[in-house]
Amino acid sequence: MATTFDLISPDFLTITRNNEWHLDAFNVPNELYNVQVWDTGVIYFSPKNNASEQEQAFVFSSAIHGNETAPIEICTDIINGLVSNTLAIKHPVLFIYGNPAAINIGERFVEENLNRLFSGRHTKADPESNAALPFENKECERAAKLEEYVTRFFELHPQAERTHYDLHTAIRDSAHEKFAVYPFIHGKPWKKQQFEILRAMGVTTFLLMEKAATTFSYYSSNEHKANSFTVELGKVRPFGENDQTKFAAAKQTLINLLKGTNFDGESFDATNYQIMTVFREINKTDESFELSFADNVANFTEFKKGQELAKEKGEAIVANEDGEAIVFPNAHVAIGQRALLTVLPTDISNNLV
């Protein structure tokens, strides 16, 4: 009988990179876990001693942007530990390397930003018949498949509390090195326990979104009621150039969650956090759009009221408030897309659970 090592050799990342858009599903014999490869970049582990399989279920995704290597390395280490049975875990987990073809070219995406294609954005309908049109590109098809896999995973563990961490690194420096985007949860309370788990990963800055989005984390949050976050762990670097010490706490926390460590939300103390909410979303509406600050200005840099943020059609777009801070600036988006967010601190003490 083939062993794990025969089937996943030399490792699942290499297999994934060798099969950019598709891999036929197969089961992998393993002593401790039911191991199933569902597609390229998609691997499921469930402990055979499955008394806990309905308590917690985790999705850890990386490489939704192909050049964000540190999260890929973190997940690869955990997967290797599970495949080789050197790591014992209690809860089922689905790992996803989002965009293998983009990993191979060392780019954010091939044709279209995968993290703008979820919650149905991957499929356009014919305006006359309302029938689904063919996918416009492979990233659209991949987003649709990833939604199916997340759905399948949570359906396998219907009683479990659901959690999805979509792991990224950012193009730009950040005044707060690590931060997480808490997708819009439609007025429901924010969870102290999740803040504490992310703090254990080294994340104390949170950006609370106030509207629906086409991101992977909003999809799993909204569609599957998962505790979902886009987690920015540091800065983009090529494979082999990541300082592992900066990611050790994040990796260990993910492992601890799988092992069954309980995080106590009662230790939550707002003074440990920088919690921000979106103040303005600035969209690019014309080819002339340009940012008024340099490429090396960090995310969460604060501006003073009246200071210029961007320029479009010769007109200045300025900060409306003192302390308005910039996040995710990108002048190179398509017309109509978001080129910049500004954020302000917020108090959430009246809506926490």
CA distances from 242 to 78, 109, 236 (A): 17, 20, 8
Stretch (H or E) spanning 249: helix 248-259
Binding string, residues 7-46; x marks residues near Zn ion by CB under 5 A: ----------------------------------------
312 is an active site residue:
no
Query: Whose Cβ is closer to Zn ion: residue 8's or residue 63's?
Result: 63
Binding piece for Zn ion, criterion CB under 5 A, among 64-72, 269-277, 302-310, 325-333: 64-72
Smallest gap from Cβ 67 to Zn ion, in A, equals 8
Q: What are phi and psi of 39, to 5 degrees?
A: -175, 180
Task: Detail the DSSP E strand segments found in 17-69.
Answer: 26-28, 33-39, 42-47, 56-62
Smallest gap from Cβ 68 to Zn ion, in A, equals 5
Binding piece for Zn ion, criterion CB under 5 A, among 9-17, 57-65, 126-134, 259-267: 57-65
Smallest gap from Cβ 227 to Zn ion, in A, equals 19
- Cβ atoms within 10 Å of 95's Cβ, excluding its own: 21
Total residues interacting with Zn ion, rule: CB under 5 A: 3
Query: Whose Cβ is closer to Zn ion: residue 65's or residue 116's?
Result: 65
Structure tokens that stand for 37 in this block: 């490869």
Site for Zn ion in 68-97 (CB under 5 A): 68
- When asked if residue 65 is in the footprint of Zn ion (CB under 5 A), the reply is yes
Query: Whose Cβ is closer to Zn ion: residue 33's or residue 179's?
Result: 179
Q: Do residues 172 and 79 touch, judged by C-beta distance below 8 A?
A: no
Site for Zn ion in 240-299 (CB under 5 A): none
Count the helices and strands in the chain (H runs, E runs).
8, 16
∠ CA 329-335-337, nearest 5°, is 50
**Selected catalytic residue, list 20, 53, 232, 312:** 232
Query: Whose Cβ is closer to Zn ion: residue 56's or residue 99's?
Result: 99
Binding piece for Zn ion, criterion CB under 5 A, among 63-71, 140-148, 153-161, 332-340: 63-71
Q: Do residues 174 and 299 touch, judged by C-beta distance below 8 A?
A: yes
CA distances from 245 to 241, 251, 298, 318 (A): 12, 10, 21, 39
- Among residues 168, 172, 178, 251, the one that binds Zn ion under rule CB under 5 A: 168
Cis peptide before 10 (omega within 30 of 0): yes
Query: Whose Cβ is closer to Zn ion: residue 91's or residue 172's?
Result: 172
Structure tokens that stand for 268 in this block: 């939550």
- When asked if residue 235 is in the footprint of Zn ion (CB under 5 A), the reply is no
Measure the CA–CA gap between 75 and 93, rounded to whole angstroms. Answer: 11
By annotation, the residues acting in catalysis are: 232
Give the binding site for Zn ion (CB under 5 A).
Answer: 65, 68, 168
